[in-house]
Amino acid sequence: MAIVDKREAMRRAQAALDAGKPEDALLQLWPLIDRPHVLEEELRAYLRLMLAAYTALRRGRAVTTIALFLGDLDSAERFAAGSPLDLARVHIARGQPREAARAFQAAKWLGHAAIQLEEAGDDRGARLLWEQLAEDPRLREDLYTQSLVRFNLGRACGRLKDDVASRKAIVQSMHLLEAAADGFETRGLRERAFDCFQVLLTLGRDGAFENLAEGYLNCIRILQEDHLKYYVLQYYEDFQKLALERKELVAAATLFREAAEFARRHGLPYARYYKQRAAETHLAAAKRGEASGAPVEMTENAYAAAIDAWSDLGAYSKVRETYGVLAMLALPEKRRARYTRLYERLAGVPDESGARSGMPDYLRMETAYPEIWRLDVIEWEQGGDAAETMGEVLLDPKFHDYTRRRALLCRLRQVGDGAARPGPELLAELATLLGRAEVYSALAPLERLYQHPDARVRAACLRALRQLYFKRSFVLVQQGLRDPDATVRAEALAAVAQLHFGHALDPLARIYREATDPKVRRTALASIGKVPSVEALELLVDALRHGDPEERRIARELLTRSDHAEAVAVLKNAEAAESGAAQAELSGVLRARNVA
């Protein structure tokens, strides 16, 4: 980045304004605000000059954007008069949800308007808007968004105590979500299917346990596939808690066992804790069965499951105690006698020691359950408009100041341009700014920009993705790898080389397996080698066995350098299972790591 003489640029900008040349002033001011580190007071001074320049140019949306960022809501409202969407954002900043809803409704953004009415506590008004939006013809082929609208409608009806209408909308939403999830998974869009299952589990929280189970178990499955270990455990724990609250003891015990196995498999120190909880829950199920007069065989099975868990923990006093209870059940004499013998045999056998600690609270993710049913309706109505998407970020206090500043630049670059139709150069610059915002919401505008016929714009979109570490980024990357323009394909390949993070393994593996271009396969393989997971190591081992000579070289180097704690164990297990040339390759890697 070129060094900017701040004082000289400010002097020239002021002089240009005084001379009635606001465009020249903006040319001086943009390099000042588009820098990584700008002090707050400096930034506000630059923006005040930009506001004056845009005011002189009569570009009201740019003036409103700056005034909103500066907190000058009176000026923002005055210049937003001709734009209902900008006016809505001014009302949001003022804490006036009803007024914001009216402005959104004037812009025909009924979902945004309904959400604002819900914020104001007007469920009756929100219900009417959700009902109108549910009939929008654009939703006929969009099962996912239609399901979210029905979900929001059902919740509004529920708050109004209209149980019949609420149930009808919720059932419609459930069927649409299941169909949408199937469609997403068929197309390899598991992250979008995950969104469907998140809404399903939310339905289950207020309704049937079957919906809760379907949502949670599918979310856990996808999180496991994405190698997000702590999210997996958090979802297990939350589902376990809900199952216990609903007295679904057998389901809860099964979940504790599954969580224990997951923790053990991934070397996490919580397996013994979950085993203990499984044993305790099986005991509770057995005692409830006894008290309720359930068939004695079911009670016996529950006690036996508890014994298995206690045995795995080396808790022999608990095993003995449970055998004593089994010996007292109304079972055939032969089985009772066996349980009595086992009880007596374990007398005096000491318990094994070992920590039994659960996952600490600091590992829980605050963002584990986003309000998908609102957020994705908002995204759908914004339609990938960068100015509107970044307008949302601009006013959201949960974002860091750095992110809000980047959102400001994106929005100004779009609404501050005087051209009726922005050219490829400006759109490419907008794509670059979206990437630098480094937020998930930048993806929808980039997906829209990527549809532009000019290859320069598409290439800029792919270049921007290098800074967006989200699984959804690969949707565009995979399109870019098939783009007819060579420069766009090159940028997509560069993105593959850059995007190596935990839950990138699944799309990277898909690119590696499906690509026909050897260069793409090798780049994906190199990125896989930088993903810190056992599954990535196993994929490298497969490449060492079955890849072409160059892929084997890449895999060999990555496996030799890997600092993953399980690398040696994975290599030794693979070596033991092979023979011939494959075994020799694995042995060579182990020798290179100085492992006998």
**pLDDT digits 0-9 by tens, 268-308:** 889 999 999 999 999 999 999 988 988 999 999 999 999 99
In this structure, the number of other CB atoms found within 10 A of the CB of residue 513 comes to 11
- The type of residue at 583 is Q
- For residues 567 and 537, the answer to whether their CB atoms sit within 8 Å is yes
Phi/psi zone of residue 79: left (φ > 0), alpha (ψ -120 to 50 degrees), beta?
A: alpha
Q: What is the pLDDT of residue 3?
A: 66
Single out the residue of 465, 423, 415 nearest to residue 444, CA to CA: 465
Q: Is 362 helix (H, G, I), strand (E, B) or coil?
A: helix
Q: What is the DSSP string of 453-499?
A: S-HHHHHHHHHHGGG---TTHHHHHHHHHT-SSHHHHHHHHHHHHH-
**Three state DSSP letters for 530-594:** CCCCHHHHHHHHHHHHHCCHHHHHHHHHHHHHCCCCCHHHHHHHHHHHCCHHHHHHHHHHHHHCC
- The type of residue at 401 is D
Rg of the chain over Cα atoms, rounded to whole angstroms, equals: 30
What are the structure tokens assigned to 176, written together?
């649409």
Note the residue count of the chain: 596
Tell me the pLDDT tens digit for each residue of 376-394.
Answer: 999 999 999 999 999 999 9
Q: What is the pLDDT of residue 580?
A: 86
Long-range contacts of 538-546 (CB under 8 A, 24+ apart): 538/570, 538/574, 539/505, 539/509, 539/512, 541/570, 541/571, 541/574, 541/586, 543/512, 544/582, 544/585, 544/586, 544/589, 545/574, 545/578, 545/582, 545/585
Q: At what angle do helices 40-56 and 60-70 cross, to 10 degrees?
A: 160
What are the structure tokens assigned to 127, written together?
């219900």
Residue 295 backbone phi and psi in degrees, to 5: -50, 135
- For residues 230 and 404, the answer to whether their CB atoms sit within 8 Å is no
**Three state DSSP letters for 156-192:** HHHHCCCHHHHHHHHHHHHHHHHHHHHHHHHCCCHHH
- For residues 283 and 275, the answer to whether their CB atoms sit within 8 Å is no
- pTM as predicted: 0.86
Q: At what angle do helices 84-93 and 110-119 cross, to 10 degrees?
A: 20
Q: What is the pLDDT of residue 596?
A: 65
Q: Where do the H-state alpha helices sit in 207-315?
A: 209-225, 229-245, 249-265, 271-292, 296-313
Q: What is the DSSP string of 397-439?
A: TTS-HHHHHHHHHHHHHHHT---SS--HHHHHHHHHHHHHH--
Residue 54 exposed, middle or buried by CB count within 10 Å (0-12, 13-18, 19+): buried
Residue 30 backbone phi and psi in degrees, to 5: -60, -45
Tell me the pLDDT tens digit for each residue of 430-489.
Answer: 999 999 999 999 999 999 999 999 999 999 999 999 999 998 999 999 999 999 999 999
In this structure, the number of other CB atoms found within 10 A of the CB of residue 200 comes to 25
CA distance 466 to 461: 9
- The type of residue at 377 is V
How do the pLDDT tens digits run along the chain, 596 residues long?
A: 456 688 899 999 999 999 999 999 999 999 999 888 889 999 999 999 999 999 999 999 999 999 999 999 999 999 998 899 999 999 999 999 999 999 999 999 999 999 999 999 999 999 999 999 999 999 999 999 999 999 999 999 999 999 999 999 999 999 999 999 999 998 888 888 999 999 999 988 888 899 899 999 999 998 888 777 888 999 999 999 999 999 999 999 999 999 999 998 887 889 999 999 999 999 999 999 988 988 999 999 999 999 999 999 999 999 999 999 999 999 999 999 999 999 999 988 998 887 678 888 877 877 668 899 999 999 999 999 999 999 999 988 889 989 999 999 999 999 988 776 889 999 999 999 999 999 999 999 999 999 999 999 999 999 999 999 998 999 999 999 999 999 999 999 999 999 998 788 889 999 999 999 999 999 999 999 999 888 899 999 999 988 899 999 999 999 999 988 888 888 888 888 888 888 888 899 899 988 86
CA distance 595 to 50: 64
